[in-house]
Structure 1
Amino acid sequence: MSDHSFTPEDSLVAVMVGISVSDQTIRTSELLSIEQMVNYLPVFGNYDSDRMQTVATIVFDLLEDEDGLDALFGLVLEGLPEHLFETAYALACDVAAADGKLAQAELRFLEEIRHVFNIDRLHAAAIERGARARHQTV
């Protein structure tokens, strides 16, 4: 799938879709979370949200292949500037927390993101704690 290339915004969407499908189930709460973030966060200010479906399809196709996760992260790394690595991780944490539970597959996906983006463990813990706090229920 090397004929695809991602913009920085596409890369962020791809990470969010990837974490959503990592447990083999795309929950409505996760999709709504992705949609809300794309609609309201400044990083997506100039993004054509119609591209979300295209990006999602690419992610689905990639993850069907044995080496699809590596290919996905390759595309994301090509399209995402380094200063947005922690943003990508934060968005992934928010999507993972959106349904109130974290599956083992989601935890592994987050671990892989930390590794690929070389996110310091202390920074990752702070990002994770923020996501947990934002998605707390009464």
Structure 2
Amino acid sequence: MTDTTLMTAQDALVAVMVACSASDQDMRTAELVAIQRMVGHMPIFAGYDTDRIREVTRIVIDLFEEEDGLDALFGLVRAALPERLFETAYALACDVVTADGHHTQVELQMLEEVREELAVDRLHAAAIEWGARVRHMQP
């Protein structure tokens, strides 16, 4: 995938997860493991070539270095992702952010950006956030 216009819906989901993990400039191991686990086990990623995670990550990181890179990223995501998967993208993003048991203000701001850019209803977002929080609760 050398041309970013060839991003698939699955790539777009990975891009959202990576963007949330990288938003605070600290991609923690727990977050990366969560991305790998979700890609490896969730039905939405059936048949997905996990080697593409590295390429999608490179695209996200490259876009973060550009002045309007976040806008460009969301443009790519919206172009590749069917609307019916917008809430899925938000749910995956929430799982990545909560995977390590804590989150930064920057990560929370990125989640808000994802929610707004993908027009996830606020009530639905609250339910998704609650689900992520309880799934990743630590003793």
What is the TM-score normalised by the length of structure 1?
0.97
Considering only aligned residues, what root-mean-square deviation do their CA atoms show, in Å? 1.2
Asked if 2 retains the 8 angstrom alpha-carbon contact of 1:5 and 1:75, the reply is no
1:1-138 to structure 2, matched below 5 A, reads 3-138=4-139
Task: Quote how far apart the aligned CAs of 1:5 are.
Answer: 2.7
| Shift >2 Å, 4+ stretches | 1-5
SS at match of 1:38: helix
Report the CA distance shift for 1:43/1:3 in structure 2 as closer, same or farther (over 3 A).
closer
SS at match of 2:47: coil
Task: Quote how far apart the aligned CAs of 1:102 are.
Answer: 1.3
Asked if 1 retains the 8 angstrom alpha-carbon contact of 2:94 and 2:132, the reply is yes
Gaps of 5+ in 1: none
Amino acid at match of 1:98: A
Task: Quote how far apart the aligned CAs of 1:3 are.
Answer: 4.9
* In structure 2, distance between residues paired with 1:82 and 1:114: 13
* In structure 1, distance between residues paired with 2:81 and 2:116: 15
Asked if 1 retains the 8 angstrom alpha-carbon contact of 2:30 and 2:99, the reply is yes
What is the TM-score normalised by the length of structure 2?
0.96
* In structure 1, distance between residues paired with 2:115 and 2:134: 20
Gaps of 5+ in 2: none
SS at match of 1:25: coil
SS at match of 2:6: coil
